[in-house]
A and B are shown apart, each in its own frame.
Chain A
């Protein structure tokens, strides 16, 4: 569950004031809104990448308003995948697990499971420079899910993909929710994509989050 209670967050001269919303545990929420309406800023506040100047942020009943990003249990898939240029696909999948002190066997098992259903089993020893846009998004998704986060934040993960690739990744996002049971917050511009994936539709308009029918 993600809950914002009268959150104010600032990005330069732009400010979102008194934003409140509630995304039930295990649901897939699509957050829509015009370019510049502050969707990414709001997501950054939830991930802990941008300080909240007022209000509270709750994740699964825990107040994480001042928690550092790493302790929030939030996996992030940014718009352009933002892969680590010097690490192989396998190293992306084990990055968070190494930090958590997983054993080599446990990491290998997790890599096998993730890479299997994400369809990146053949890419494990490749560097990001050699990946297509769709492959990079799958790796970014695997990296974000690797450590079993309770919340998954997707920032327009499909916007830069061609139609066929988009269809593939869309299917994976449906599969993600089924397999991992995470609460998903998904920023998107695409209404049909939102209708297909989301069971909660939110719109950010004039600094307020509205529930859409």
Chain B
């Protein structure tokens, strides 16, 4: 092999290339990424090690905490249904149609994702100080009542559902829908018969994310609903209240319940992903 005009001979081999340093590169990636993964695993382990079955049992015996569990499950589920109800049409409209003000709506939809959740709660509180809504509250109390919990959760969770569903509809080829039109479908028939079935994985993912997000919501609820025990207390509120009176055991026990819910959500998303690879969803 003829020698090439290398600038310096140094540690180059016969081809003129430096010897491979792939091992070092991969090790650096693993160390940098591994730090975060280790931290995550350590925090979860710390929660588990700190809690005893006795702590969990005692926490679940408390009527306040049982109320918080019930309200959390109920409000998160209601929030999820409301979010899907709104996010499916928004996701579809924003993907398939270009209209005047599309860009403004687009930016508006991302506000709950970038805004501090506390500010959303404050904004809701101020909104409900306006005369028409104050009149509504005389008939149907919202602020500092259970509906405010759902509304506060909905404001944030729905933005995540919208984002997931927009990505879903964007990934769906419009051609099959158009073929359905040529076959005789109206727009709504094509939507129900062709588009929605192809979006079912995205819809389930959006629902799961919205549910998890609603379950963990704290800031806007604290501002808009207050932290009244047996009334507007949800699980994150419980953690906050127990911590503020120095009951670390109960706070960690309730946190573990939420960790458990988060793990269940992740497992569901993954299991469904695999199920869809296997073929038609049952």
| CB <8 Å contact, B179 and A82 | yes
Q: Does B130 contact A (CB under 8 A)?
A: no
| CB <8 Å contact, B194 and A75 | no
| CB <8 Å contact, B175 and A75 | no
| CB <8 Å contact, B184 and A74 | no
| CB <8 Å contact, B189 and A69 | no
The size of the chain B interface, using a CB distance under 8 A, is: 20
Residue interface mask A51-80, B partner, CB < 8 A = 1: 000000000000000001111101110101
Which chain A residues lie closer than 8 Å to B189 at the CB level?
Answer: 99
Q: Does A84 contact B (CB under 8 A)?
A: yes
Query: If A82-B173, A99-B189 touch, does A70 touch B181 (CB 8 Å cutoff)?
Result: yes
Q: Does B61 contact A (CB under 8 A)?
A: no
Within B180-236, which residues are at the interface with A (CB < 8 Å)? Answer: 180-186, 189, 193-194, 197-198, 200
The size of the chain A interface, using a CB distance under 8 A, is: 29
Interface centre among B173, B176, B200, B280 (most CB of A within 10 A): B176
Q: Does A179 contact B (CB under 8 A)?
A: no
Which chain B residues lie closer than 8 Å to A86 at the CB level?
Answer: 197-198, 200, 280
Query: If A127-B279, A127-B280, A129-B279 touch, does A83 touch B184 (CB 8 Å cutoff)?
Result: no
Which chain A residues lie closer than 8 Å to B175 at the CB level?
Answer: 78, 80, 82
Q: Does B129 contact A (CB under 8 A)?
A: no
Q: Does B178 contact A (CB under 8 A)?
A: yes
Query: If A82-B175, A86-B197, A86-B198 touch, does A75 touch B182 (CB 8 Å cutoff)?
Result: yes
Q: Does A47 contact B (CB under 8 A)?
A: yes
| In the complex, residue of chain B having the shortest beta-carbon distance to the beta carbon of A128 | B176
| CB <8 Å contact, B176 and A69 | no
Q: Does A122 contact B (CB under 8 A)?
A: no
> How far is the CB of A110 from the nearest CB of chain B, in Å?
14
| CB <8 Å contact, A99 and B173 | no
Query: If A84-B194, A99-B189 touch, does A147 touch B179 (CB 8 Å cutoff)?
Result: no
| In the complex, residue of chain B having the shortest beta-carbon distance to the beta carbon of A77 | B179
Q: Does A36 contact B (CB under 8 A)?
A: no
Query: If A78-B175, A80-B175 touch, does A49 touch B182 (CB 8 Å cutoff)?
Result: yes
Partner of B180 from the list A48, A72, A80, A95 (CB cut-off 8 Å) is: A95
**A129–B277 alpha-carbon span in the complex (Å):** 10
> How far is the CB of B73 from the nearest CB of chain A, in Å?
31
**A146–B198 alpha-carbon span in the complex (Å):** 23
| CB <8 Å contact, B279 and A68 | no
Residue interface mask A73-102, B partner, CB < 8 A = 1: 011101010111110000000011001100
Which chain A residues lie closer than 8 Å to B184 at the CB level?
Answer: 70-71, 96, 99-100, 147
Which chain B residues lie closer than 8 Å to A82 at the CB level?
Answer: 173, 175-176, 178-179
Which chain B residues lie closer than 8 Å to A69 at the CB level?
Answer: 178, 181-182
Which chain B residues lie closer than 8 Å to A127 at the CB level?
Answer: 279-280
Q: Does A150 contact B (CB under 8 A)?
A: no
Partner of B182 from the list A72, A80, A83 (CB cut-off 8 Å) is: A72
Q: Does A143 contact B (CB under 8 A)?
A: yes
Which chain A residues lie closer than 8 Å to B176 at the CB level?
Answer: 82-85
Interface centre among B178, B179, B186 (most CB of A within 10 A): B179
Query: If A82-B175, A82-B176 touch, does A99 touch B182 (CB 8 Å cutoff)?
Result: no
**A49–B280 alpha-carbon span in the complex (Å):** 30
Within A117-144, which residues are at the interface with B (CB < 8 Å)? Answer: 127, 129, 143-144
A-B contact pairs, 18 of them (CB 8 A): A47-B178, A47-B182, A48-B182, A49-B178, A70-B182, A70-B184, A70-B185, A76-B179, A78-B175, A78-B179, A83-B176, A84-B197, A85-B198, A86-B200, A96-B183, A96-B184, A143-B179, A147-B184
Which residues of B are interface residues toward A (Cβ below 8 A)? 173, 175-176, 178-186, 189, 193-194, 197-198, 200, 279-280
The 10 tightest CB contacts between A and B, nearest first, are A82-B175, A70-B184, A96-B183, A69-B181, A99-B184, A86-B197, A82-B176, A69-B182, A76-B182, A49-B178
A-B contact sample (5 more), CB < 8 A, given A69-B182, A82-B175, A84-B194: A69-B181, A82-B179, A86-B200, A99-B183, A99-B189
